[in-house]
Amino acid sequence: QKEVEQNSGPLSVPEGAIASLNCTYSDRVSQSFFWYRQYSGKSPELIMSIYSNGDKEDGRFTAQLNKASQYVSLLIRDSQPSDSATYLCAVMNRDDKIIFGKGTRLHILP
């Protein structure tokens, strides 16, 4: 089993709708979780971090964590064309290394 798994997409969402991105991880002792956004040809950019079960909101972004299910998600409300990018889920494992999923490509349809 891969350490961090994501659906590669592409996920197509109409402008103004909610985009929902999901991620599962294998290491039960993981404590820190991150979402990075990567535009084509650019470097990953940290957009959200979450450490406790539940929801964490920042503007249009909400990260959700369920440690019992080993599941992390990112919701983007009022999706904009500028949100079109690849979203990388990242998990800090028991060795304090951040392991990345392969990413989900999100396409916001104007």
Partner 1 sequence: DAGVIQSPRHEVTEMGQEVTLRCKPISGHDYLFWYRQTMMRGLELLIYFNNNVPIDDSGMPEDRFSAKMPNASFSTLKIQPSEPRDSAVYFCASTPSDSGNGYTFGSGTRLTVV
Interacting residues with partner 1 (CB under 8 A): 31-32, 34, 36, 42-46, 49, 51, 88, 90, 92, 95-103
d(CA 56, CA 53): 9
Minimal distance, residue 45 CB to partner 1, in Å: 7
Using DSSP, state whether 62 is helix, strand or coil: strand
Minimal distance, residue 80 CB to partner 1, in Å: 23
| CB 22 within 8 Å of CB 101 | no
Nearer to partner 1, 77 or 102 (CB): 102
Pairing outcome for strands 11-14 and 104-109: parallel
Nearer to partner 1, 51 or 78 (CB): 51
Nearer to partner 1, 18 or 46 (CB): 46
